[in-house]
């Protein structure tokens, strides 16, 4: 029983209320997008998610993609759904109008992405990879390539991929062997094989545009010698139509535990014609433009699965009868009470709820910074947003996907035996969610990126927007007399203190021994994420109390629920910060003590 209806009231809250004073300021570029207009976009997106994507989610998982005689096909209904999606303009929502996009804020786009991922995360990969590819092309390709490819990619007529991984190298891209031979006309012949290529080939679009990492002859060794190339499946004709087949072929599709309706391909490039994107040997910088976009989007995948897992578990818990409430029968008219009366079921449901609401709020803060980074007219604000995005990207990717998988598992547990079988649909959530912790850089790699690159960069400047925001809110809220707000503020202050001490510990030990930083990385990322969620919940509670004091009318229930949800977070989730600080403080000793031969 896959149950979903977009949490539109909470989405409107994080979009319009929670970050009105986010420090990034209003952006002139988006002044024409009124709250009413943006709300209408969200409402229409919800209809597409519920009515078009959700109905093909479970059937698509059962059928999966097929590969026969070099041809890849998506499950029944996917082509029609993609056509509806593209024709409705959803593929171009946040793209630049110069290339046919609608130019909406990324803050709105991420909420729409959440709906798509919640109802059909396999489907989300097809337009999602394309959006990431257009970002890299727009940022680094020549004008000729932009004009030749962006309009059709932005419209969704053509799709995009990124081709990084090879069978002998995953994250360590310096080992890749795909080669690029320069041609007299300025193009390159690309030869090599790639694996794990999401949306690598399919029957949804007329052409697939691959962004491929390869090495030009005599290039420097390692990542410093990698270049990025645009390689189409079909060569475009002068009029923009699809022409002859390029030297690109599918060797097979991966047989995965989840995301079965997403075609993950093994692709061969045999003297395929491609064009350089960006500068020679600077391919990683260009590809990271796409990868960072995709990492935030993968975090949203975790959030989307979290939300549908929560809603499905709530629906089941309200209907499933088993046992009686420990405080006495709540439904004496029935043979047993619904399981939602039981404290441990409430623990699971509330955990899923706070994960979803906390990640949504934190994700929206990051999305607003993405908008400011790209569109602010104030250089100081632009720099602050850039620093914030750099810091939070690994946190969003890793935290959201960790918690999304946890929520999917809790949904299975809520359903009990029915959760373990296919018919109810929640076991699919767990299988689909699991990959998000791995691809686009495993969550361990994200943690290493955070402590190894993002913390020391620019003498710790990346930390300032985040630390200053949390510190200022705690200082503002400390004098408040309300008992609940006082308790919430105290909890955040304690967790923030643990984060500050952990930061100092990593800086001190990591300079002497990089393994110390590596040993602390995963706990540190989770600690930073929890503090970020705590900031959002305290801020939300402050707003909710103010709205209730004014007289919230029809929204009274929403604001009361927001305060109650925050209470669970501060009581049951945020105290984990203390344990993480103690683990970080313990250092690498016990982690590295066991001799390799003893494993």
Domain end residue (candidates: 264, 286, 308): 286
- Total domains in the fold of the chain: 3
Strands 158-163 and 207-216, by their bridges, are: parallel
To which H or E segment does residue 374 belong?
A: helix 343-375
Tell whether 585 is covered by a domain: yes
Domain end residue (candidates: 286, 316, 338): 286
Tell me which of 287-301, 481-495, 568-582 is least confident.
Answer: 287-301
Q: Catalytic positions, please? A: 440
Q: Please say whether the beta carbons of 371 and 105 come within 8 A.
A: yes
What residues contact residue 169 under an 8 Å CB cut-off, 6+ apart?
A: 175, 176
Encode 412-449: b = buried (16+ Cβ within 10 Å), e = exposed: bebbeeebeeeebbbbbbbbbbbbbbebbbbbbbbbbb
Judge if 467 and 586 occupy the same domain: yes
The pTM is what? 0.95
pLDDT one-digit tens code per residue, 531-578: 999 999 999 999 999 999 999 899 999 999 999 999 999 999 999 999
Judge if 59 and 183 occupy the same domain: no
pLDDT, averaged across the chain: 94
Measure the CA–CA gap between 383 and 26, rounded to whole angstroms: 15
Tell whether 232 is covered by a domain: yes
Please name the residue that has the structure tokens 């604000």: 381
Tell whether 33 is covered by a domain: yes
Tell whether 101 is covered by a domain: yes
Tell whether 70 is covered by a domain: yes
Judge if 53 and 132 occupy the same domain: yes
Tell whether 338 is covered by a domain: no
pLDDT one-digit tens code per residue, 93-144: 999 999 999 999 999 999 999 999 999 999 999 999 999 999 999 999 999 9
Domain end residue (candidates: 108, 139, 170): 139
Judge if 117 and 162 occupy the same domain: no
Q: Please say whether the beta carbons of 115 and 253 come within 8 A.
A: no
- Name the residue range of residue 227's domain: 158-286
Q: Please say whether the beta carbons of 321 and 335 come within 8 A.
A: yes
| Number of helical H runs and strand E runs in the chain | 17, 11
Q: Please say whether the beta carbons of 491 and 477 come within 8 A.
A: no
Measure the CA–CA gap between 146 and 139, rounded to whole angstroms: 9
Tell whether 410 is covered by a domain: no
pLDDT one-digit tens code per residue, 414-427: 999 999 999 999 99
Tell whether 515 is covered by a domain: yes
* Angle formed at CA 31 by CA 25 and CA 33, multiple of 5 degrees: 120
C-alpha distances out from residue 168 to 162, 193, 305, Å: 17, 10, 31
CA 345 to mean position of chain CA atoms:
27
CATH number, position 90: 1.10.540.10
**How many C-beta atoms surround the C-beta of residue 21 within 10 A?**
9
């Amino acid at each position: 029983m896959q149950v979903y209806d977009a949490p539109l009231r909470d989405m409107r809250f994080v979009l319009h209320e929670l970050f009105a004073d986010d420090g990034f300021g209003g952006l002139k570029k988006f002044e024409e997008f009124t709250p009413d207009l943006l709300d209408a976009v969200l409402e229409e997106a919800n209809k597409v998610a519920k009515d078009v994507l959700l109905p093909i989610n479970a059937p698509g998982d059962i059928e999966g993609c097929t590969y026969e005689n070099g041809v890849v096909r998506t499950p029944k209904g996917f082509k029609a759904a993609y056509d509806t999606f593209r024709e409705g303009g959803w593929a171009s929502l946040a793209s630049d109008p110069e290339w046919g996009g609608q130019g909406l804020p990324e803050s709105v786009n991420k909420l729409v992405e959440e709906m798509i991922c919640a109802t059909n995360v396999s489907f989300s990969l097809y337009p999602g990879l394309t959006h990431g590819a257009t970002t890299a092309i727009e940022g680094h390709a020549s004008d000729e390539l932009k004009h030749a490819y962006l309009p059709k990619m932005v419209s969704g007529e053509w799709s995009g991929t990124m081709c990084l991984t090879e069978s002998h190298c995953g994250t360590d891209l310096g080992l890749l062997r795909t080669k690029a031979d320069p041609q007299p006309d300025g193009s390159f012949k690309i030869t090599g094989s790639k694996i794990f290529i999401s949306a690598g080939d399919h029957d949804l679009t007329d052409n697939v545009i691959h962004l491929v990492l390869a090495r030009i002859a005599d290039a420097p060794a390692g990542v410093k010698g990698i270049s990025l190339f645009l390689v189409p499946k079909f060569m475009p004709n002068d009029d923009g139509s699809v022409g002859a087949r390029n030297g690109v072929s599918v060797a097979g599709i991966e047989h995965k535990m989840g995301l079965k309706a997403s075609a993950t391909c093994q692709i061969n490039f045999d003297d395929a014609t491609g064009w350089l994107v960006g500068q020679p040997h600077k391919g990683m910088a260009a590809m990271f433009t796409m990868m960072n976009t995709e990492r935030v989007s993968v975090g949203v995948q975790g959030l989307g699965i979290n939300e549908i897992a929560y809603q499905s578990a709530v629906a089941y818990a309200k209907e499933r009868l088993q046992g009686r409430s420990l405080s006495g029968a709540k439904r004496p008219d029935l043979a047993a009470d619904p399981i939602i009366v039981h404290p441990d079921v409430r623990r699971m449901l509330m955990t899923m709820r706070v994960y979803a609401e906390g990640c949504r709020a934190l994700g929206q803060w990051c999305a607003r910074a993405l908008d400011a980074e790209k569109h602010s007219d104030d250089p100081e604000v632009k720099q602050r947003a850039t620093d914030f995005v750099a810091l939070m990207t690994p946190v969003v990717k890793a935290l959201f996907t960790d918690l999304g998988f946890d929520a999917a598992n809790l949904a299975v547990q809520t359903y009990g035996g029915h959760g373990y079988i296919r018919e109810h649909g929640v076991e699919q959530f767990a299988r689909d969610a699991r990959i998000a912790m791995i691809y686009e850089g495993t969550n361990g790699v994200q943690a290493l990126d955070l402590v190894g690159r993002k913390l020391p960069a620019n003498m710790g400047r990346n930390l300032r927007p985040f630390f200053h925001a949390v510190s200022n809110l705690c200082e503002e809220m400390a004098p408040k007399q309300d008992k609940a707000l006082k308790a919430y503020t105290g909890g955040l202050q304690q967790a923030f203190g643990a984060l500050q001490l952990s930061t100092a510990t990593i800086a001190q030990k990591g300079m002497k021994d990089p393994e110390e930083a590596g040993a602390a990385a995963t706990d540190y990322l989770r600690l930073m994420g929890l503090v970020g969620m705590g900031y959002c919940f305290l801020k939300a509670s402050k707003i909710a109390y103010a709205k209730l004091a004014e007289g919230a009318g029809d929204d009274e229930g929403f604001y009361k629920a927001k305060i109650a949800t925050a209470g669970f977070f501060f009581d049951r989730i945020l105290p984990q910060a203390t344990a993480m600080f103690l683990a970080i403080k313990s250092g690498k000793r016990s982690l590295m003590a066991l001799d390799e031969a003893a494993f």
